[in-house]
């Protein structure tokens, strides 16, 4: 449509390149939490916010927050955000694309002299990835009021605590929680992000609308059989823990196939004693099960753990489950999904609904407001990798859809 025919993609991609130059390592993109490069990324983004007519501020958690006032005083804000930290040897778009595109949309509003009734807050969150200290979602949890103070004692690889890193960064670690908003401050949360998976590419779509951020159950499974001589113990008399694990892994793959939104992965395994001529007496492996709905995930976990118990009983293996992580799914708001669908239709981009198997800052915000996410196709679904790539035309599509969504947003609907 004429009102949004402005070409956004080149500016947005140039800014993603500029952010990618702020790296702890000269040969790759690595920008972790509370580093000098993180401070520089905040400064760069703050400058773009000012140029777009926003007032930027560093909050107590280290997030950069830009505010674009609305016309109704004290109305709750539309929050547009993603993260500015990266994994090690990262791509240029995971997180950054959402922040930069949101700023481009506000810039467009500002140049057209437009304001919503409600204010808009654009946030570049810190530490979504957890690369440096392990703890994840620090910035978004602080904003949602669910920051875990115990995370301050987490240490990086050189033994520095998050608490000391905050002090070195120039922030008071005891004031991280001051970043908290309440449900009265926020009308809705919207995050644009690359898909990090191959579904949109397969469906030949530039943009997709997220239905939910999948919940996840993660555990360590330990099997104990009996080690023995690989030449002398007959097949029928073995208690081979690794062979038991193999049967379990095949079951996990079968059980998680064919149910939309359900995925199951054994990504790590270790056998002991680990010798070519010894029947493996011990085996430990990880199990990661995710699904769009908690009902589907819980049913899969129940079936899989029951099957593991049966396989172990039949094979004479002792079994231990060590729970590692259990997070419910975060549902996206039906209203926001419909509004995004309207925006896609208005801009002429076909779309689909799909769940997000990866975690996002939106999960944290779900605690205090309705959330929505717009996915942008990424090449071959590759992410957390320097090969991460997007098409300029897809970035253009995402920006136009987000802009239209913002223009139509009504906090009092």
> Segment contacting Zn ion (CB under 5 A): 34-42, 95-103, 240-248, 329-337?
95-103
| Contact between 94 and Zn ion per CB under 5 A | yes
Q: Which two tokens stand for residue 362?
A: 């939106």
Contact 180, 143 (CB under 8 A): yes
| Contact between 240 and Zn ion per CB under 5 A | no
CA–CA distance, 386 with 375 (Å, rounded to integer): 19
CB of 84 to Zn ion, least distance (A): 10
Nearer to Zn ion (CB atom), residue 281 or residue 398: 398
Helical residues (DSSP H) of 21-169, grouped into ranges:
36-51, 96-111, 138-144, 162-169
Bridge partner list, 161: 155
CB of 8 to Zn ion, least distance (A): 20
Name the residue among 52, 39, 36, 44 with its Cα closest to residue 17: 44
Name the residue among 262, 250, 254, 324 with its Cα closest to residue 295: 262
Nearer to Zn ion (CB atom), residue 224 or residue 374: 374
CB of 96 to Zn ion, least distance (A): 9
Q: Give the interface size with Zn ion as a residue count (CB under 5 A).
A: 2
> Segment contacting Zn ion (CB under 5 A): 34-42, 86-94, 151-159, 346-354?
86-94
CB of 89 to Zn ion, least distance (A): 15
Nearer to Zn ion (CB atom), residue 82 or residue 211: 82
| Contact between 95 and Zn ion per CB under 5 A | yes
CB of 95 to Zn ion, least distance (A): 4
| Contact between 388 and Zn ion per CB under 5 A | no
Nearer to Zn ion (CB atom), residue 56 or residue 98: 98
Nearer to Zn ion (CB atom), residue 201 or residue 307: 201
Which DSSP letter does residue 197 get? S
Contact 53, 103 (CB under 8 A): no
The single residue listed with the structure tokens 């703050």 is: 46
The single residue listed with the structure tokens 């990866």 is: 358
| Contact between 361 and Zn ion per CB under 5 A | no
> Segment contacting Zn ion (CB under 5 A): 88-96, 141-149, 345-353, 385-393?
88-96
> Segment contacting Zn ion (CB under 5 A): 7-15, 94-102, 201-209, 302-310?
94-102
Nearer to Zn ion (CB atom), residue 94 or residue 370: 94
Where is 365: in which H helix or E strand? helix 362-365
Contact 223, 317 (CB under 8 A): yes
Q: Which two tokens stand for residue 368?
A: 């205090």
Q: Which two tokens stand for residue 367?
A: 């605690």
CB of 82 to Zn ion, least distance (A): 6
Nearer to Zn ion (CB atom), residue 137 or residue 252: 137
CB of 296 to Zn ion, least distance (A): 24
Nearer to Zn ion (CB atom), residue 347 or residue 394: 394
Nearer to Zn ion (CB atom), residue 37 or residue 94: 94
> Segment contacting Zn ion (CB under 5 A): 92-100, 216-224, 338-346, 371-379?
92-100
CA–CA distance, 14 with 154 (Å, rounded to integer): 35
CA dist list (Å): 125 to 56, 61, 157, 354, 400: 13, 9, 22, 24, 23
CB of 69 to Zn ion, least distance (A): 28
Instruction: Give Cα 217 to chain centroid, integer Å.
Output: 16
3-class SS of residue 296: helix
Nearer to Zn ion (CB atom), residue 239 or residue 290: 290
Name the residue among 155, 104, 75 with its Cα closest to residue 403: 104
> Segment contacting Zn ion (CB under 5 A): 89-97, 99-107, 183-191, 294-302?
89-97
Where is 222: in which H helix or E strand? strand 215-224
CB of 29 to Zn ion, least distance (A): 13
Nearer to Zn ion (CB atom), residue 347 or residue 361: 361
CB of 51 to Zn ion, least distance (A): 24
Strand-strand pairing, 186-194 and 77-83? parallel
Contact 197, 357 (CB under 8 A): yes
CB of 379 to Zn ion, least distance (A): 16
Question: By the criterion CB under 5 A, which residues form the site for Zn ion?
Answer: 94-95
């Amino acid at each position: 449509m004429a009102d949004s025919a402005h070409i956004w993609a080149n500016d947005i991609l140039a800014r993603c390149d500029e952010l990618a130059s702020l790296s702890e390592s000269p040969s790759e993109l690595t920008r972790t939490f509370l580093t000098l490069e993180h401070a520089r990324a905040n400064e760069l983004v703050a400058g773009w916010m000012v140029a777009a007519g926003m007032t930027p501020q560093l909050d107590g958690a280290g997030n950069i927050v830009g505010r674009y006032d609305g016309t109704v005083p004290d109305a709750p804000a539309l929050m547009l955000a993603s993260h500015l930290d990266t994994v090690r040897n990262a791509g240029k778009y995971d997180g950054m694309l959402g922040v930069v595109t949101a700023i481009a949309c506000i810039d467009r509003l500002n140049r057209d002299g437009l304001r919503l009734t409600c204010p808009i807050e654009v946030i570049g969150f810190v530490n979504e990835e957890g690369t440096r200290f392990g703890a994840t979602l620090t910035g978004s949890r602080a904003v949602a009021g669910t920051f875990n103070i115990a995370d301050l004692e987490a240490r990086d690889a050189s033994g520095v605590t998050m608490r000391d890193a905050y002090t070195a960064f120039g922030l008071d670690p005891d004031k991280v929680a001051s970043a908290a908003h309440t449900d009265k401050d926020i009308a809705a949360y919207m995050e644009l992000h690359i898909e990090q998976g191959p579904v949109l590419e397969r469906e030949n779509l530039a943009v997709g609308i997220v239905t939910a951020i999948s919940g996840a159950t993660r555990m360590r499974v330990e099997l104990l059989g009996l080690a023995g001589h690989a030449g002398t113990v007959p097949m029928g008399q073995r208690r081979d823990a690794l062979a038991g694990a193999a049967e379990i892994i095949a079951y996990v793959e079968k059980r998680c196939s064919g149910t939309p939104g359900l995925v199951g992965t054994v990504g790590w395994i270790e056998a002991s004693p680990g010798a070519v001529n010894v029947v493996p007496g011990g085996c430990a492996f990880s199990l990661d099960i995710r699904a769009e709905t908690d009902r589907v995930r819980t049913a899969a976990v129940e079936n899989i753990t029951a099957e593991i118990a049966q396989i172990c009983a039949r094979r004479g293996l002792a079994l231990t489950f060590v729970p590692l992580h259990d997070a419910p799914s975060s549902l996206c708001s039906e209203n926001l999904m419909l509004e995004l669908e309207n925006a896609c239709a208005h801009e002429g981009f076909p779309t689909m609904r799909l769940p997000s198997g990866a975690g996002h800052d939106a999960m944290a915000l779900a605690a205090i407001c309705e959330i929505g996410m717009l996915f942008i196709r990424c090449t071959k679904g590759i992410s957390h990798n320097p090969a991460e790539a997007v098409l300029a035309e897809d970035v253009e599509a995402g920006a136009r859809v987000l802009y239209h969504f913002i223009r139509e947003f009504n906090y009092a609907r």
